[in-house]
Each structure stands twice: as structure tokens, then as C-alpha cells.
Structure 1
């Protein structure tokens, strides 16, 4: 099995000015993992690492959670 690529933290600004943070890792076809209401992107760290050997994995934080405002 290949080593998991490193994870980078990035952000975008929504139309209302809120910063939405997300974690990105890997290369290949894009795959988005979205957490539930009482979680944040860090809850998908192991899953994202496993998938990032074959995919570019994006794990956004919903508003008010983790990396997002």
C-alpha cells in the first residue's frame, strides 16, 4: 500500500463572507467527505488518509465547526 499523501488546510469564502475551511489530501479523482451535525473534518482523518492514496479527498468543515467560521 502507498504512503498517504500529506493533508493541507485550505479555505474559501462563501457569498455571505463566512470562511469555510477544508482539508485536502491525495491525487486523482475528487472525493468529498461531509461530516454529520455533531462532528468536524478531523473525525474523518483516518478515512481520508486511506482514500487519499487513490483520490483527491476534500473534507470541508460545516459552518461553526473545526476550520470554518
Structure 2
């Protein structure tokens, strides 16, 4: 679980670096969202909690 959390954090840092280097942020949205979900799930597991359903929350927030 810690390895998954570390891997997700590293991916997010790479995405941020790519944006700083000039990559269009829109090109990374799906990958970034998937990685955020993986990070949240790993963090929840480490804390003994069920993984959050971020896709559901995103849909609720986006429809407001």
C-alpha cells in the first residue's frame, strides 16, 4: 500500500513537471484524475478506511 501511494505521488509530480515544461494540462486530465483516485485509495487503505469514490464525488460537484 505504501508503495502504491509513493508511486501515485511520483506520477503526480511528473505530471506537474510536464505542465511546467509546456505540456497542455488538458492532455493530462484523465491520467491525473486516475492517479489522484489511486492515491486516495492507497491513503484510505493505509488508514484502514474504505477507498473514496472520487468519480461519484466529481460528478456531484460538477453538476452543481
Question: Normalising by structure 1, what TM-score?
Answer: 0.28
| Structure with a larger share of its residues in strand | 1
Between Structure 1 and Structure 2, the one with more helix by share is 2
Indicate the structure (1 or 2) with the bigger Cα radius of gyration: 2
